[in-house]
Structure 1
């Protein structure tokens, strides 16, 4: 693994799947030290507060210098990073890692879980995501947190395809769009569908066709490792679409409220 591929402490806490080992080389050993000596804040969900919060790590797990650490990692050891909620110090977030020179760094436990954090994120999207897909999103994050690549991607793919279909139904109401894309669209692969819907989707989303090439070839052609790498990208793609849908819905509601108020002043 290159130095650039080795996760940061924040990535280890919040996005790295459990039970997946990350090996390091001499160049990235300092990044392992950064994890074990981490002090700072972690922005995540607090189960007790039922909201996002900053959790503060005040005391590093290890204070060893690089040379001493090199000796310590010859045998496996457990590193526990504990952080306190900035709102209520009795509320704790905890991350547990197994570290070994031969096997690498493996996250073997965390609290709150990825599924707990997903519940908070879903609060923002309840207006624009069905109950069925909210449950699927939570299951996907739970599976991913345990290092299940293909299973987690199946749920995300269903959500993504549902959102693209919703966008297509919206585009069909546009006569100009239908005259250009209407006949060919149903036969397109996913990458071409997104290109056809570029005026209806977030621009950042349409600019990365590599992601949709994976989806077009089918999940059966992807290894577990490839699915785990694909997961964060597909998750962000879904959140791009949901954020845009939510923004448009809120804008529509504001316009309707303004129109209602204006009409009330004329009566």
Structure 2
């Protein structure tokens, strides 16, 4: 079983989402349902706070037990439409667990439970944005949590708010640095033109892809929940690219200040 297939059930199939079990994708399910002892996957461990490998836990039973009885147990649960639980343990620390639960109804496989949640697995990735998002960090985490709960339009509300606040923060910088800045023109402009007015102060990626705001607005007002859910990963990625650029610029300015301070202090030292 390939690593990509092993990842699908625990890390890609969403909570309460279903997938049809057929000949084409049977390779996704077969190892889990017949003999999962060899199944494992890599993901973030929320307790180790780093990437780890999670391996199927057979609860102290011998390998032979699973070879002899596991398949029959699964068949019985499928026939009786009972939940099937899969427990995995972190190979860094076996007290750290990952589990998910499937319900199989004829040819439909539904994930009805999982721990940690998709949101818990993702939130560690955005921790680096705390310093640039400040108060908006909470909104970013809320957007991710809502998306993990299949709430599409609601997640877009928070992403759009973050986008608007990034623009407002930049406007304040521009008005403070540019003596010719006219706030009345800015306030009377649509978002597309606002970004153009701020092009000298914004990351190029945002200026070049300023229609992102139109996508966010359309998601809130017109798109279905599923359409928003489908768009969310790429919209999140776009927001993260903007934030990555802000982090880069902040680090660059810190290095510039450090070099200036070093040169100034060293010259003064040589004079004494």
**Structure-2-length-normalised TM-score:** 0.69
Q: Distance in 1 between matches of 2:130 and 2:14?
A: 25
Q: Distance in 2 between matches of 1:11 and 1:163?
A: 35
Q: Give the direction of change, closer, same or farther, for the CA distance of 1:171–1:57 in structure 2 (3 Å limit).
A: farther
Which residue of structure 2 aligns with residue 39 of structure 1?
Answer: 39
Q: Give the direction of change, closer, same or farther, for the CA distance of 1:197–1:230 in structure 2 (3 Å limit).
A: farther
Asked if 2 retains the 8 angstrom alpha-carbon contact of 1:143 and 1:152, the reply is yes
Q: Give the direction of change, closer, same or farther, for the CA distance of 1:241–1:27 in structure 2 (3 Å limit).
A: same
Q: Deviations over 1:79-98 (max 9, x none)?
A: 43433223222211222232
Q: Give the direction of change, closer, same or farther, for the CA distance of 1:251–1:31 in structure 2 (3 Å limit).
A: same
Offset of residue 124 of structure 1: 0.8
Asked if 2 retains the 8 angstrom alpha-carbon contact of 1:53 and 1:87, the reply is no
Asked if 1 retains the 8 angstrom alpha-carbon contact of 2:7 and 2:41, the reply is no
Q: Distance in 2 between matches of 1:82 and 1:242?
A: 36
Offset of residue 99 of structure 1: 3.2
Asked if 1 retains the 8 angstrom alpha-carbon contact of 2:20 and 2:109, the reply is yes
Asked if 2 retains the 8 angstrom alpha-carbon contact of 1:167 and 1:201, the reply is no
Q: Distance in 2 between matches of 1:14 and 1:197?
A: 39
- C-alpha RMSD over aligned residues: 4.2
Which residue of structure 1 aligns with residue 155 of structure 2?
Answer: 152
Asked if 2 retains the 8 angstrom alpha-carbon contact of 1:97 and 1:105, the reply is yes
Q: Distance in 1 between matches of 2:257 and 2:134?
A: 23
Q: Deviations over 1:151-189 (max 9, x none)?
A: 2222222123322444555567897xx89xx96895345
Structure 2 residue matching 1:248: 3-state secondary structure: helix
Q: How does 1:7-156 map to 2 (within 5 A)?
A: 9-10=6-7, 12-14=9-11, 16-23=13-20, 25-33=22-30, 37=36, 39-47=39-47, 49=48, 51-58=49-56, 76-102=81-107, 104-131=108-135, 133-156=136-159
Structure 2 residue matching 1:107: 3-state secondary structure: strand
Offset of residue 196 of structure 1: 7.5
Which residue of structure 2 aligns with residue 260 of structure 1?
Answer: 261
Which residue of structure 1 aligns with residue 203 of structure 2?
Answer: 201
Q: How does 1:225-240 map to 2 (within 5 A)?
A: 225-240=226-241
Greater Cα radius of gyration, structure 1 or 2: 2
Q: Distance in 2 between matches of 1:197 and 1:11?
A: 42
**Number of residues paired by the alignment?**
248
Q: List runs of 5+ in structure 1 lacking aligned partners.
A: 1-6
Which residue of structure 2 aligns with residue 3 of structure 1?
Answer: none
Structure 1 residue matching 2:15: 3-state secondary structure: coil
> Which structure dedicates a bigger proportion of its chain to helix?
2
Q: Give the direction of change, closer, same or farther, for the CA distance of 1:134–1:27 in structure 2 (3 Å limit).
A: same
Asked if 2 retains the 8 angstrom alpha-carbon contact of 1:76 and 1:99, the reply is yes
Which residue of structure 2 aligns with residue 4 of structure 1?
Answer: none
Offset of residue 227 of structure 1: 1.8
Q: Give the direction of change, closer, same or farther, for the CA distance of 1:198–1:78 in structure 2 (3 Å limit).
A: farther
Q: Distance in 1 between matches of 2:163 and 2:114?
A: 27
Q: Give the direction of change, closer, same or farther, for the CA distance of 1:126–1:208 in structure 2 (3 Å limit).
A: closer
